[in-house]
Structure 1
Amino acid sequence: TARLTGAWNLEDRVSFTGRLGYNQQADESAQLRVGGMKDLVELGATWRLGLREFIRGRIEYDRFYGQDRSSLGHGMVYDVEAGYRIRTQYPDYTVRIVGTRGIYNTNGGTLTPTMQRLVPAGGDATPAFYMPQNFTQAGVLFGFGTELLDDYTRKWRPFLDVGALYDSRAGHNFRGQL
């Protein structure tokens, strides 16, 4: 496996991120997690409109493979987020509106013999068995202490990120991170 990541800040108001990955863990579906992997290209940007407001976007292209490197399909994931920082110093308080869309395409044909061994008896031995379903997510989240998650601090700093989400596959849901 190989991964290359990068970040670039432009005048502290606009920042860009990028990631390339080869043979990365694919956790988009349980079947892919066990029997697959992915190559990916990801680009992201954050724009700080002011001291408190920000907008983020991310796009990721994935190419999915089986354990034997046979092609299963590909997909795109789009993330958009807009937020407002009620308080900017720790403990920072942030309210965010988030949206994600995942679109996946399955290759036609049948699976290789190696990949067919992982399909339950009587199951459909096509790449569709491994590929994730399309989805849309939207929600509102509240967090505190999240600004320092990626920065080193000498003290332990608690954080919380909770909110209500709608997922087209699972319906209404709650998300929490402590």
Structure 2
Amino acid sequence: MSSLHPTYPVRTERLLLRPLTTGDVDALLTYRSRPEVCRYVPFEPMTRELILERLETLWANTGLTDEGQALTLGIEVASTGALIGDAILFWHSKLHGAGEIGYVLHPDASGHGYATEAAHAMLRLGFEELGLHRIVARLDERNTASAAVARRLGMRAEARLVHNEFFKGEWATELDFALLESEWPPTIAPEDP
């Protein structure tokens, strides 16, 4: 395990994953400011100012050089150039080869398999380019759409942590999914009808 410096854009069948820029602020605001999008993720609805701050700091990484870092990439539809979401790869531990993925999509883009396609690309970066041993996805049990994505990716449901976190004013139950490098690449299940 060394570091990760992808060649951008990272291409999938229908998507381009690329570093976010200040030119993306309006597109990011259209979904990251919405309460329904933020309901089950670890951030509140964002303002333009907060998005600009993140673009200059946390989201400015274009690679991973050490544990404790995260790589956030915009999810762009290749045929239209529209930014429809973003995906993240965390590098948690060098010793344990541990990482985590996450994703957030504009509601208008849901139901087309984009989250699955983007998350699959992030898993590939983590396993094939960074050399991680294990990648997890942790989510709120009520986020059934994200759980479906994890299952389609071939990730194994490993834990249900009942009321393990006081989250946004209430106790939340966490579902943990995981995939090992030895299980990569999985067969992606088709979208639900």
TM-score of the superposed pair, with normalisation by structure 1:
0.37
Larger Rg: 1
Of Structure 1 and Structure 2, which has the larger fraction of its residues in helix? 2
Higher RCO structure (Cα 8 Å, ≥6 apart)? 2
Of Structure 1 and Structure 2, which has the larger fraction of its residues in strand? 1
TM-score of the superposed pair, with normalisation by structure 2:
0.35
